[in-house]
Every structure is written in structure tokens, then in C-alpha cells.
Structure 1
Amino acid sequence: MRVSIYSNDGSTSNEVASQLKEKIDNSSKLQYDGLNPQIVISVGGDGTLLSAFHHYNDSINNIRFVGIHTGHLGFYTDWRDYEVQQLVDSLENDNGQSVSYPLLSININYKDGGPSDSMVALNESTLKRINGTMVTDINIKNEFFEKFRGDGLCVATPTGSTAYNKSVGGAIISPEFDAVQVSEMASINNRVFRTLGSPIIIPPDEWITIIPDNPYHNILTCDQLVVQNRPIQSITYSISNDRIYFAQYRHTHFWKRVSNSFIGVHDND
């Protein structure tokens, strides 16, 4: 089986990556292949796995990911930095087991007449203005829903609902649902201007289109990637036809991850 390692620059991560590489090279069942891997091992945290996902995005349907966290517990990382040998043993006994999560499809049209862009996010996409209030129409399935005024909008996947989406007041959604969530950032609500004022969750057969009143001076993000200095005419969000796959040697249940990350270990009394 072909295996690649994607590590951040931390000293602990580099040490773990070196151990992994040595054990893979010495294995009769594994082959290190950074160009055409079947398994990608991310060493670091959730940010590192996001980078690995975008690095191998063109072949996402042919790859399963495994995460080793070298710091705090992450949502996409099931293994600890001291479990290198256990992970290698699992790789050598791989039988194709996996779990998959939905991804966010992002289609961007520009006002300058240039070609449109298509992107895929694992966590979320945000739209903000560089300065001033962002004003934009929000359409659901090509029908006008509301005119938003505020700092910006966050559009998240279920797994991404625990990240930036949560910090702006969005709901946490189980990845068992193929849903897209839109959460407001500091919306303006008064007797003149009015938005729904709560997150919107749409099913996989619907889509959301955002049309800024001013196409200029906006910043669009796709996970940690940034699109700017292009006049945005519209952005359409929907559930992607692609999914991300994780090798399920040992997979922590989603709600257990939520509890560990935000509540912590505590006594029942």
C-alpha cells in the first residue's frame, strides 16, 4: 500500500514524521509515495490535515486520510504522537475500512468577466468586506431569501460546524447529515434593516447563492485559503459530490470529540 506523510514544521511533528518514514521504508507491506498515495498521514493538528486535504484535493476520491495529533486533541486526528508503531501495524493490516464526511462545494463568478472558480472546503468558507458593512442578497434555490447587512457570513460543513461556525453562534451538526449551514457575523438588525438573525441549515438538494451589492473589496476564504482582489459577482454553496475519507482503524465518535474538546473530562457527580 502506498503511503504519504504530510507534516507541519513543529519539532515534535518532524520527529514523528521521521519515525513514520523509517518504519514505512522498513515495512514489506508499505511503500512511501508522496505523489500517488492511497493513504495520507497528517502529522500535526487539524490545520495540518486541512493543508494535506487541499494539497491532495485533485485525487481526493482515491485517498484515505489518517491524522496524528502532536498537540491538543483535534477533530480529524485519532492517533497520538507516541502511537507510531500501533499506527504502522494498523496500516500493514489494512482492509480498506473507512469513514467519510461531506464537503462544501464553492462556485465563484466574477464581475470582471474572468473565468469562474470552483473550490471545495472541508471546514468552511467565509465572506467578509475589507472595511465597512457587507451588504449582500442571500438566495436559496434561486429564490430571494433576505438581504444581509453585517460583518460577514460563514458557510460550514457538519464537521466544520465545530470550528469558526461555532464561534459565531452556529449550531454543531453531526456529520451524519449532508447539510450546509450559514451563520451570520454581527448582522445589523433594527426597525429599518432586518435579517433572520439565526443560522440557516439546508439539505443536500438545495443550494445557497450569495450576491454582494458591491463586488469589490471582499475577502473570500476556503478553509485557510484566501481569494481576494477579484470582484465577486456571486458565490454558490452546496454539498459537494465528493467526500473526504478517513481510514477507520480507530475512529473516535463525533460527539465524543465534541465532548472532549469543549466540555472536557469531568466527574459524574
Structure 2
Amino acid sequence: MKISIFSNPGDASKQVSDALKAKIKAEKLTLDDEHPDIVITVGGDGTLLTAFHHFRDQLATIRFVGIHTGHLGFYTDWRDYEVDELIDSLAHDNGQSVSYPLLDIFIKYGNGQKERLLALNEATIKKVTGTMLANVYIKDQLFEVFRGDGLCVSTPTGSTAYNKSTGGAVLSSELKAIQVSEIASINNRVFRTLGSPIVISPNEWVRVEPVNSDENLMTCDQMMVENRLIDSVTFRISKQRINFAQYRHTQFWKRVSESFIGVKPND
């Protein structure tokens, strides 16, 4: 088995990373940062998101494992003091995994160029200054004319992030769907949007066409697309998925309960 350690630069993470590398060599497992079978991230959800984008071209052959060295994360199942237990799981790995949906983002720029991005959590499109005015299509049919700060499109696992803060629902990780939530929409006698989040099925897609191409800002997880004229952005569920090594992968609703409500098992 080939393993890559992907760590943030913090002292605590570096200590865990060094311990992992030493124990992996002692178990006669292979360290490989180019074409790994397992990617162990050390840090938090931000570190895992960075690793996801770093290895996005190898998602079909990689399983991720997350160690958190700070606060509890949604994608990190192991604590920094559980290195020995994780090494034992790696040594007895039998290929077990669990996968989650991803978001495809297709951008058409004002100069005719096109780009495809892939998000684990969410993507947003906003206006840098003033109100964003955009036509929103579902399956190429005009759904609404949006006015407001912007729109957030999230995966089920990403629905607990920015989407939740905009008033979006938390979707089960078992669903193959994406969610579109409004960011400070304008609703009055003159302007009207649906005013609530919408959930899009696998055979549907959403296209957003800003009326003015300038001063629009796109984000994809932690990445940013700015200073480019955007003609349209299309969002849909990706055929790709992210895979996690299921040594003891935490159940999604347990994560939600512990993170937002504070309920632990047997409380």
C-alpha cells in the first residue's frame, strides 16, 4: 500500500505527521506522494479540502483518511493521539471505503474560454460590489431572475458549511443531490425570488447567467475565481465521488449532532 501524508504547517500537525511517517516505515508500508492509494491529512477540514484539490485527478484510485489536530471536523475521523490505532488499521486494510457526492462546476467566460471545477463542499457566485442580477435556469428553463448578494450551491456534506449559514437545509450524505441557497436575496413588490433553498436531483442542472459579466466573483471550496468576466456557470452533481477509508468512518448525522447540538452517544 502506498501512503501520502498531507499536513498543514502547524507545529502540532508536524509532530503527528513525523510520527506517522516513522511508524509507516516501521510497518514496511510505502510512502508515496505522487500516486498514493491512501492520503492521510493532518490538520482539519481545511487541510483535507486542500488535499482533495491537490489529488483531484486521482480520485478514482485514492481513499482519504483525516486526522484532526484542532477542533472536530466533518471529514476527519481520527484524533492526533490515535496514531498507533490508525497505523494498525492501515496494516490490516482490506479496501473498505465510503463515498460522498461532489459538485461539478462549468464556467463559461466572456472571452469564450471554458473551465471545469470540482467542489467537495460548495461553490458560490457573488457580485463584488452592489447587487448581483442574474437569470437562473433549471434544465435550461428560466426559473427566476435573482437579485441579491449571490448564490451558494452545495453538496450534501457541504450543506453543513456556508450553505447552513445562508439558511439552507442540512442534506443527508446518502442523497445524490445538490442544494442552491440564496445569499441576501432582495424580495419586495417589484423584485421576487423563490426565497427558499432548492434541492436539485441528479438528472437536473442549474445555470446562472449574470446580467452584467463584470465584478462577479466565483468560489470553489477554498479557491477563488476573480477578475474574469463570467458569462454563465452551470452546476450539477458530478459523476466523480470522494472516497474515505472506512476504518471507523463517523456516521454523518452523528457528526452533525456533535458539531451543532453538542449531543454525544449515550447523553
Q: Could you state the TM-score of these two structures normalised by the residue count of structure 2?
A: 0.98
1:33 is matched with: 32
Letter in 2 for 1:244: I
- Aligned identity (percent) is 64
CA displacement at 1:229 relative to structure 2:
1.0
1:212 is matched with: 210
Matches within 5 A, 1:62-101: 62-101=61-100
- Structure 1 residue matching 2:50: 3-state secondary structure: helix
In the aligned structure 2, how far is the partner of 1:207 from the partner of 1:140? 6
Q: Deviations over 1:193-229 (max 9, x none)?
A: 0000000101001000000001111110000000011
CA displacement at 1:266 relative to structure 2:
6.8
1:150 is matched with: 148
Q: Deviations over 1:78-115 (max 9, x none)?
A: 000000010010001000000000000000001122x2
In the aligned structure 2, how far is the partner of 1:124 from the partner of 1:265? 26
CA displacement at 1:25 relative to structure 2:
1.4
1:18 is matched with: 18
- Structure 2 residue matching 1:260: 3-state secondary structure: helix
1:175 is matched with: 173
> Is 2:132 the counterpart of 1:134?
yes
Work out the number of aligned pairs and report it: 267
CA RMSD of superposed structures (Å): 1.2
1:188 is matched with: 186
- Structure 2 residue matching 1:3: 3-state secondary structure: strand
**8 Å contact kept, 2:2–2:35:** yes
CA displacement at 1:265 relative to structure 2:
3.2
Q: Could you state the TM-score of these two structures normalised by the residue count of structure 1?
A: 0.97
- Structure 1 residue matching 2:76: 3-state secondary structure: coil
Matches within 5 A, 1:30-69: 30-69=29-68
- When residues 163 and 111 of structure 1 are mapped into structure 2, their CA distance, relative to the original with a 3 A threshold, is same
Letter in 1 for 2:70: G
- When residues 62 and 147 of structure 1 are mapped into structure 2, their CA distance, relative to the original with a 3 A threshold, is same
Letter in 1 for 2:2: R
> Is 2:8 the counterpart of 1:8?
yes
In the aligned structure 2, how far is the partner of 1:159 from the partner of 1:266? 20
In the aligned structure 2, how far is the partner of 1:268 from the partner of 1:61? 37
Which runs of 5 or more residues in structure 1 are unaligned?
none
In the aligned structure 1, how far is the partner of 2:150 from the partner of 2:265? 39
In the aligned structure 2, how far is the partner of 1:230 from the partner of 1:185? 21
**8 Å contact kept, 2:257–2:264:** no
Query: Which consecutive segments of 4 or more residues in structure 1 shift more than 3 A?
Result: 265-269
**8 Å contact kept, 2:258–2:264:** no
Q: Deviations over 1:30-65 (max 9, x none)?
A: 100001100000101001000000000111111000
In the aligned structure 2, how far is the partner of 1:35 from the partner of 1:88? 20
1:228 is matched with: 226
> Is 2:197 the counterpart of 1:199?
yes
CA displacement at 1:267 relative to structure 2:
10
CA displacement at 1:9 relative to structure 2:
1.0
In the aligned structure 1, how far is the partner of 2:134 from the partner of 2:85? 50
Which runs of 5 or more residues in structure 2 are unaligned?
none
- Structure 2 residue matching 1:15: 3-state secondary structure: helix
In the aligned structure 1, how far is the partner of 2:220 from the partner of 2:82? 32
CA displacement at 1:175 relative to structure 2:
1.1
CA displacement at 1:249 relative to structure 2:
0.2
Q: Deviations over 1:122-143 (max 9, x none)?
A: 0000011110000001100000
